[in-house]
Copies of this chain bind each other. A is one copy, B any other.
Amino acid sequence: MRVHQMWDGYPELKTNLSSVLSLIESHVRVRDKTVAATINNLVHSGGKLLRPAYSLLCSQIGPDSEKEKAVAVAAAIEAIHMASLVHDDVIDDADTRHNHATIHTMHGNKFAIYSGDYLFCISFQILAQHASSLAHLDFNTRGMEKILAGELDQLNSRFKPSLSVKSYLSRVAGKTAQLFAISCYSGAMEGGATRKQAMNAWNMGHYIGMTFQIMDDILDFKGSSHCLGKPVMSDLQQGIYTLPLIYAMQQKPNAFKPFLEKKDMLTENDLTVIAELIDQYKGVEKAQALADKYTAKALKQLSKLPSGDYKEILEEVTTKLLKRKS
């Protein structure tokens, strides 16, 4: 199974990530060809597999890392992630993700809803069959709840320019950081880490998730469509206001008002002006400063974990990830 090149330097991890994808694929037994193809496309999409990678690495904190079980926990997490991507695409009316047409535009929302439901099934089935305790399940369901809550917050706050930094961060804590935290925590627990170590892993995952999302939101303002695989300022066009914009708006609300109160689609020209305003009021710099704070917090939690090869990899990957420019 092809795994993203970012893991080329870590052959063992790469092999395990390939097993994660194979395990998910082996559970795709739905007769419906559209749904099966849809899920297999996701499995072969060449995504970064960050969540399962963190889960696998954290399974080595404790003494009893059993490869098969660690792979199962990582696969259950990736399947939940895929399920939420599929349903979010329906909800966001997003029509491209990573430059491929999304499932719901290709085959209609109906198949997308079932494909997501089926991926939820796969996630729980993998846990039921391979993981060592029900504890993961409880965490996975709580995780799903929080993720849904974060997505709902986002849905409810659309086109509301009054969004505060606090409510932005609470949204991100749900929709992104939660699953990173669960990935690290579940991996640690499956590997026999102590409860304290598992909580360190949880916190580390939370901070990584926070930074990861803030960076993603920054890149939505900075990146070009080509590099990132999604249209620039796509969130803004959907009424999703993210940190760089929120910071800039705090400086000069009235400058943004005419654009955000527009009833029609924002034009190319509107977007250029908004980008300039964000630049002028240092929205990106301030968001970056907050991301750096979260990165430091993540690395501090990481430093508390016991030494080992896994820890060095965690440091390298986290540093690279949180400093990415695209």
**Given the contacts A110-B91, A149-B31, A152-B32, A117 and B144 also touching, CB distance less than 8 Å:** yes
Contacts of A190 in B (CB 8 A): none
* Interface residue stretch chosen among A134-142, A247-255, A261-269: A134-142
**Closest Cβ–Cβ distance, residue A252 to chain B (whole Å):** 31
A128/B117 in contact, CB under 8 A:
no
A35 within 8 A of B: yes
Contact of A118 among B31, B148, B156 (CB under 8 A): B148
Type the 1/0 row for A184-210, where 1 means its CB is closer than 8 Å to any CB of B: 000000000000000000000000000
B87/A151 in contact, CB under 8 A:
no
Which of the four size classes fits the interface of chain A?
35 or more
Contact of A32 among B116, B128, B149 (CB under 8 A): B149
**Closest Cβ–Cβ distance, residue A283 to chain B (whole Å):** 28
Residues from 103 to 134 in A contacting B, C-beta threshold 8 Å: 109-111, 113-114, 116-118, 120-122, 124-125, 127-129, 134
Contact of A121 among B121, B127, B129, B148 (CB under 8 A): B148
A124/B141 in contact, CB under 8 A:
yes
Residue of B nearest to A143 (CB): B121
Contacts of A90 in B (CB 8 A): 109-110, 113
A273 within 8 A of B: no
A312 within 8 A of B: no
Q: A124 CA to B32 CA in the complex, in Å?
A: 24
A30 within 8 A of B: yes
Q: A29 CA to B141 CA in the complex, in Å?
A: 12
**Closest Cβ–Cβ distance, residue A69 to chain B (whole Å):** 14
A155 within 8 A of B: yes
B156/A32 in contact, CB under 8 A:
yes
B121/A128 in contact, CB under 8 A:
no
The 7 closest A-B pairs by CB, nearest first: A125-B141, A32-B152, A128-B137, A128-B138, A121-B144, A121-B141, A91-B110
Listed by A's residue number, 21 A-B pairs whose Cβ atoms lie within 8 Å are: A30-B149, A31-B152, A31-B153, A35-B152, A90-B110, A91-B113, A110-B155, A113-B113, A113-B116, A114-B151, A116-B117, A118-B144, A118-B148, A120-B120, A121-B144, A122-B141, A124-B137, A124-B141, A125-B138, A128-B138, A137-B137
